[in-house]
Amino acid sequence: MEAIPDSQFDIEEALVSYMVELNTATGFHLMRVAEQGLRILAHKMRPKVSLTHKGHIIAIDYADWEKVITAIKNQITTARQAPVGAKRQAQLEKFSDAADHCVFTKDIWRNIVSHARKPYNAAEALAVLERVRDFMLFISKESARTRNKKYEN
């Protein structure tokens, strides 16, 4: 994906793993791709997501999934307090859907593969592939919109 070059290695590894039926490896690499998307989403939130650990500010890139997801959800809660209107509604729909996607991905697939709870079968590998693809397409489109707005101004 050109819009998210940091994920290219894991995208390729996931696809090769899937082609040779290494289903758990497919899931592992796709979770790394999804993590890139999660971090990009956190960076795009306005006002910016800030994270702390034991009272110290930490960079989004070094926080665990739970902290990043919680911070994104907190930003959504803050956005709900903004004046009612089309802009607020559009932002809430967009980021709420993305945040929920991250929660489900973490709970359904990420924790299983990262904590060696069970191997993936072919159907699960395909489901992860489709879900992460959809999430990354969303992130990629949002990145493109942001770039286009910069050039329009």
Q: How confident is the model at residue 8 (pLDDT cuts 50, 70, 90)?
A: very high
Q: Pseudo-torsion of CA 89, 95, 99, 102, nearest 10°?
A: 140
Q: What is the mean pLDDT of residues 129-135?
A: 91
The predicted model scores a pTM of: 0.78
| Residue of 46, 67, 70 lying closest to 58 (CA atoms) | 67
Note the pLDDT of residue 151: 47
Q: d(Cα 124, Cα 91) in Å, to the nearest integer?
A: 31
